[in-house]
């Protein structure tokens, strides 16, 4: 999809999109379009409901165009969510009509946010409606090159570019998660990161097994032992800030396939290629951070491996020493993500010295069950960090609730055989997973986000096919962007 800004409509586009105030008479910012509409519908008293879309065929500039009218009430309780929902519906309609050239009229009747913010949201939402993962289908849908011209102030070109970049990064994350596990191996994930780094401008360092052994990453290496595929620690760096500025750190779960290990899963293994969705979110965010040249230092770390079963697999009941020196009793080999991320966190903290650390993963069934497909869950001892994430939610549309942080939960992680139990029986799983990882933060301000069920869907909706959603990319990007303003 190509996006550009103009101040007037030239020629006859295939379609014109106009947001109008719900339950109020239609108006247009373009004089010629307004006149054409009045010539045909002078006596039409149409009033659109909130989020109602109406399609009208008009003779315009010597040809025919489809006028797509979208009713919108700026006074609703969650206007950003509603705005994105309407944009996604319009994108679906453009696909259905096989539209190629589109003019997006000025947002003069949408008043809940500044024009610049609305442009960014439109540029981040409409391209997602084109997304499909059909790499393995013999018969693929025809692809069209869309050209959307937005009537807006030319000074807002940067907002349009930023939104487009975020949409591309979300699609990158979707591609990484949707890819089949026999293709998206730890080594392949590292190679794709290196290619993206070359394209977008961030640097990538890849540590192999020997490097991880020298670092003492016992937890990470234990999880990978059952696989014939070698693990990779992937370190992505964007140095947009001052040389001596401590970076913002991101750590993402990179389990490219999860069988459960010796605690083998009894169902759902066909979807376990999705288990590296945290890594995909970090990678996608790093793409936009570098592409938008944020004036901040950011490092992203992914411990990529498979959790498989063979004679070398780590066992339920093993005690393993982490890179931090803490020992862990492995009650459940299917609680592997937190083990790999604990070592990834330690590596990041001791080698990159981040000012603060955000760790993301689709980690527990507990969060899936409790929060459903509505929101993710966060745990932190640093309330300011969660507040910064919470304040971003209107922009991102990625809802994140806060789990309780009470020290009594930490007591449940104790084991008579080791410093920590990776998965205590019959406990509040999502909270305990967060506290387990919190045990490795080494006094660095830390926020744990369990994506739960948000990174993938079995339903098709406007702008979202079945499969990966790219959840988390926008939260991490905007968090980094907003940290630029405070220069912490």
Give the pairing of strands 467-468 and 456-457. Answer: antiparallel
62: CB partners within 8 A, 6+ apart: 12
Instruction: Decide if 162 contacts 116 (C-beta within 8 A).
Output: no
400-404 LR contacts (CB < 8 Å, sep 24+): 400/375, 400/376, 400/449, 400/475, 401/371, 401/375, 401/376, 401/377, 402/377, 402/378, 403/377, 403/378, 403/379, 403/430, 403/431, 403/434, 404/431
DSSP-based three-state secondary structure for 206 = strand
109 — phi, psi (to 5°)? -100, 0
Catalytic, out of 2, 23, 57, 265: 265
E-strand ranges in 39-169 read 53-60, 63-72, 101-104, 147-151
Cβ atoms within 10 Å, residue 115: 16
DSSP-based three-state secondary structure for 63 = strand
Catalytic, out of 338, 388, 441, 481: 338
Q: How far apart are CA 464 and CA 334, in angstroms?
A: 29
Cβ atoms within 10 Å, residue 484: 16
**Would you call 338 a catalytic residue per the annotation?**
yes
- Indicate which residues carry an active-site annotation: 265, 338
């Amino acid at each position: 999809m190509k996006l550009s800004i103009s101040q007037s409509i030239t020629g006859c586009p295939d379609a014109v999109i106009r947001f109008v105030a719900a339950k109020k008479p239609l108006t247009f910012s373009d004089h010629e379009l307004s006149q054409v509409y009045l010539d045909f519908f002078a006596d039409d008293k149409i009033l659109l409901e909130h989020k109602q879309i109406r399609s009208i065929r008009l003779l315009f500039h010597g040809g025919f165009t489809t006028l797509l009218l979208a009713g919108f009430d700026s006074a609703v309780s969650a206007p950003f969510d509603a705005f994105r929902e309407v944009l996604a519906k319009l994108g679906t309609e453009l696909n259905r009509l096989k539209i190629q050239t589109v003019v997006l009229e000025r947002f003069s009747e949408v008043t809940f946010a500044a024009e610049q913010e609305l442009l960014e949201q439109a540029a981040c939402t409409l391209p997602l409606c084109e997304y499909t993962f059909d790499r393995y289908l013999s018969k693929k849908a025809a692809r069209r090159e869309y050209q959307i011209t937005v009537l807006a102030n030319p000074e807002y070109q940067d907002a349009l570019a930023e939104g487009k970049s975020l949409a591309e990064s979300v699609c990158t994350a979707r591609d990484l998660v949707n890819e089949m596990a026999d293709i998206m191996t730890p080594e392949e994930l590292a190679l794709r990161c290196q290619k993206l780094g070359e394209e977008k401008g961030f640097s990538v360092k890849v540590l192999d097994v020997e490097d991880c052994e020298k670092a003492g990453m016992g937890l990470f290496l234990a999880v990978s032992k059952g696989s014939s595929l070698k693990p990779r620690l992937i370190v992505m760096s964007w140095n947009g800030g001052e040389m001596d500025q401590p970076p913002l750190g991101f750590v993402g779960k990179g389990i490219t396939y999860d069988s459960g290990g010796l605690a083998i899963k009894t169902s759902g293994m066909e979807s376990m290629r999705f288990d590296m969705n945290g890594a995909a979110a970090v990678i996608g965010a790093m793409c936009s951070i570098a592409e938008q040249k944020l004036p901040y230092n950011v490092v992203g770390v992914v411990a990529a491996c498979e959790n498989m079963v063979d004679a070398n697999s780590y066992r339920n009941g093993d005690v393993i020493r982490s890179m931090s020196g803490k020992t862990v009793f492995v009650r459940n080999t299917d609680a592997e993500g937190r083990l790999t991320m604990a070592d990834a966190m330690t590596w990041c903290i001791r080698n990159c010295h981040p000012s603060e650390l955000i760790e993301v993963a689709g980690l527990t069934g507990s969060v899936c069950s409790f929060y459903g497909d509505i929101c993710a869950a966060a745990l932190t001892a640093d309330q300011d960090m969660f507040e910064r994430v919470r304040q971003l939610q209107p922009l991102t549309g990625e809802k994140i609730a806060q789990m309780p942080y009470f020290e009594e939960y930490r007591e449940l992680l104790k084991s008579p055989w080791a410093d920590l139990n990776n998965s205590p029986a019959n406990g509040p799983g999502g909270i305990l997973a967060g506290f387990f990882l919190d045990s490795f933060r080494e006094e660095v301000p830390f926020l744990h986000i369990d994506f739960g069920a948000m990174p993938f869907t079995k339903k098709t909706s406007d702008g979202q096919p079945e499969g990966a959603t790219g959840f988390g990319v926008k939260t991490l990007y905007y968090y980094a962007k907003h940290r630029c303003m405070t220069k912490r």
